[in-house]
Structure 1
Amino acid sequence: MADPVTRPPASDAPNLTRGALSLRRRIANRLALVLITLALVVAVVPLGLVVWSVLSRGGSVISWEFLTADIPNSFRRAGGGVGPAVIGTLIITGMAALMAIPLGVLGAIYLNEYGKQKPLARMIRMMADIMTGVPSIVMGLFIYSTWVLLFESRSGFAGALALACLMLPVIIRSTEEMLRLVPDELRQASLALGARKWRTTVTVVLPAAISGITSGVLLAIARAAGETAPIVFVVGITSATNWNLFEGENTALPAQIFRNASQVFEPAQERAWGSALTLIVIVLVFTIVARIIANRFAIKER
């Protein structure tokens, strides 16, 4: 007689099923990890190449004399620096930030804390979304037609207005999204203790969202600091330092990068790479300082 076929106990079937599912999940998890890592490499490699190119070609040009010397009048001439462009970038972008940051944060507070879904709030959101996608050259033309032609003068303040228009919608939308992430329980707890709504917003909501707000503000500043078209349209070009925002033409690092990079002369090319590295360092320094300030005033978890 043939021996009966031995079968696994019925109780082992669920264990085999669970084992197969576990193996399938591990394979899917490893595959997803590989794909995510590959996507990260694809994204980081171009960024690394850009940073390496700027560092290798601009690092040999950077010096204290380069950062403080006047811009040479001839593209062929070696030496000189971008001192007026550094100062122009700082004062123009700084003035734009002074105008755009308070307006943007206050506008976001109104949209999230007071306006909610009112018709005015919905219209402001729609206009902010539209302005976010408007090309920078359109902002430059707008300020040129409404400010430069009206006063018949290019100036650093006109450039600050153009950059502020570019920064404002980014700050409004990013700040509103960060305010939405603050739990309502924090607001309710503050109101339950007798605090008014404005005090709750200032002392509870804003500190809880300050890190995200700072990130949005830095993104807007970085975008504005690197814009070229508005600066060329409304600020003009000069090779001398101009501390007066309201009178006389000025210059900035993006404009100098554009002017020098479009030339075939080696000294001009070197100044373009040095200006690019200088602009990156300026944005990096402001990012670090802003992060330190944000961490100082953010609500700490205990």
Structure 2
Amino acid sequence: MSGSNTTDFINPSTFILLGIPGPEVAHVWIAIPFCTMYTIAVLGNFTILFVVKREQSLHGPMYYFLCMLAVTDLVLSTSILPKTLSIFWFNSREIDFSACLTQMYFLHCFTGMESGIFVAMAFDRYVAICDPLRHSTILTNHVVAKIGLAVVLRGGIFVLLYPFLASQWPYCRTNIIPHTYCEHIAVVKQACADIRVSIYYGVFLIVSGMGLDMFFITVSYIQILRAIFSLPTKDARLKTFETCISHLCAILAFYIPALFSFLTQRFGHNVPQHFHVLMANLYLLVPPMLNPIIYGVRTKQIWDRLLRLITHKGT
């Protein structure tokens, strides 16, 4: 009996990614806005890195964290979009099992890193507003490097269990994944085993990762708002708050789609599958596209340096 059961277990060498199930005929057209968002993300984030590297005056904690965010956004969007476009435009749906696990690791790892970077940026804003005289002594280059290393290690180590567990399950149902990329839950759902360990660990990472990050960001901004409202004049309050607007916009652009995708995937059983997949793509593409725009437009120092570099080259 046990022998006949084990012969049914097939661990496929490849998976088949369906893309967005349902509107397959529209894949070619859906790829156009996806490609546009990716192009803007690549150009925008490389511009941020170039401007910060060129301008010595931007070599400070806020801009170091912004560079970390730009690198994370580049890796995050690149980990999914080339394969997605190959599905939409060339019908290249096969992905090797090991490549699928690698993609799973990178996209979840760098999603966790991005969340951690937002916490670091909130801490930077907290120190800059609540204890401005000690900002340069608290957030030294050494401390910024340690924070960056902690963010990378947290994202890299805790997500290792995702592909490890996924590689242990027997896959005997199908090798077809109704998604554009190898998202953790979408992959392990194809296993013919009790995958509750994977599901519970996924929920644990969301709560202990993004959940705690959102808590720390909220606490930081409560203290920031208290400090702002204690300022004597309305102009001073407004000017100080404006230094946080870019960070707040970037946080909203990241967490709202991510949480919406997480909640609809686990609890929105009546939500169509193609809507799940579309939201799962947008929350990995929209923030990398918006972040350089938000910081480039809202941060005067970056905007001024960019204009100076453009006009200098033009002359």
- Normalising TM by the smaller chain, what interval? under 0.3
Higher helix share: 2
Q: Which has the larger radius of gyration?
A: 1
TM-score (norm 2): 0.27
TM-score (norm 1): 0.27
